[in-house]
């Protein structure tokens, strides 16, 4: 059985190294029909308790995580693979479809509640909490530093908590004005698409917080300081 898997793996690798095969396979996998069929198959399998338990158990092992990490690293080292992903990410049609699907998903209260429960379960895992804390070693970002300086200069009542100091339902906002339950989120819309902010807004709102989002388009303007100050003041007054 092991030899069979290894032989199949070797055959797959050889085929993937053939540009014609790779191009044809990618074309098939990007078709709407293929995606729909795969989605239906996964849904059918996921409805089976035994399959769900098997998948969850397999993915939660250190060996599985290491294997997935190595596979992702190998793929990313391939210039053609990176170029393909970047092209997909820049495709305006795909971006719009993804945005619409995300907005539709997060407009459903049941989906929001399901994600809240899933996130809450993650935060019961000590290893997960430790990994998240370690990921904040590079904070604050350059954009966040600009807002920190703006807050200091104009004595705004917000404090920086984006280093993991303050959490709301599994999310770590960037700035908080505790007395008024107000938050400021600073993000690069390339790495943190706006459709993802729908989820954050919903989580923060359910906890009683209002949120202002500042993006790179706000922070890269020549008059960014005056512009952002005006946005924050209007937010506070509203």
Query: Which pLDDT tens digit goes with each residue over 158-188?
Result: 999 988 888 888 788 999 999 999 999 997 6
Q: How many CA atoms lie within 13 A of 203 on its CB side?
A: 21
Q: How far is CA 215 from each of CA 5, 162, 192, 221, 229, rounded to the nearest angstrom?
A: 47, 15, 10, 11, 13
pLDDT at 224: 95
d(C-alpha 63, C-alpha 52), whole Å: 19
Higher pLDDT, 43 or 3: 43
From the list 233, 86, 225, the residue with the least C-alpha distance to 143 is: 225
Asked if residue 193 has pLDDT above 60, the reply is no
Tokens 């890269």 — which residue? 220
Q: What 8-state DSSP symbol labels residue 174?
A: S
Question: For residue 211, with 0-12 CB atoms within 10 Å meaning exposed, 13-18 middle and 19 or more buried, which class applies?
Answer: buried
pLDDT at 131: 67
- H helix or E strand, kind and range, residue 184: strand 182-187
Measured N-to-C along each axis, helices 109-122 and 92-106 cross at an angle, to the nearest 10 degrees, of 90
d(C-alpha 77, C-alpha 71), whole Å: 10
Mean pLDDT of 50-73: 72
pLDDT at 32: 79
pLDDT band at 191 (very low <50, low <70, confident <90, very high): very low
Range from 103-107, 115-119, 185-189, 221-225 that averages highest in pLDDT: 221-225
Backbone angles phi, psi at 3, to 5 degrees: -65, -40
Token representation of residue 226: 């005056």
pLDDT at 3: 59
Asked if residue 138 has pLDDT above 60, the reply is no
Token representation of residue 30: 């990007």
Four-way CATH pick for 91-238: 3.40.50.2300, 3.90.1150.10, 3.40.960.10, 3.40.640.10: 3.40.960.10
Residue partners of 30: CB distance under 8 A and separation at least 6? none
């Amino acid at each position: 059985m092991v030899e069979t898997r290894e032989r199949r793996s070797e055959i797959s690798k050889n085929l993937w190294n053939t540009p014609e095969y790779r191009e044809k396979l990618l074309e098939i996998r990007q078709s709407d029909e293929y995606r729909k069929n795969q989605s239906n198959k996964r849904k059918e399998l996921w409805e089976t308790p035994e399959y769900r338990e098997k998948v969850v158990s397999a993915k939660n092992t250190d060996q599985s995580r290491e294997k997935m990490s190595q596979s992702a690293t190998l793929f990313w080292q391939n210039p053609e693979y990176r170029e393909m992903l970047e092209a997909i990410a820049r495709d305006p049609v795909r971006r719009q479809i993804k945005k619409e699907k995300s907005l539709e998903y997060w407009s459903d209260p049941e989906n929001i509640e399901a994600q809240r429960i899933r996130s809450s379960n993650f935060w019961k895992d000590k290893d997960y909490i430790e990994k998240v804390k370690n990921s904040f070693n590079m904070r604050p970002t350059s954009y966040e530093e600009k807002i920190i300086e703006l807050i200091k200069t104009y004595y705004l009542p917000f404090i920086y908590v984006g280093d993991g100091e303050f959490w709301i339902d599994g999310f770590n906002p960037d700035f908080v004005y505790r007395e008024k339950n107000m938050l400021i989120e600073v993000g690069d819309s390339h790495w943190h698409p706006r459709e993802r902010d729908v989820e954050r807004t919903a989580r923060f709102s359910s906890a009683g917080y209002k949120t202002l989002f500042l993006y790179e388009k706000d922070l890269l303007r020549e008059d960014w300081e005056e512009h952002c100050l005006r946005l924050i003041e209007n937010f506070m007054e509203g």
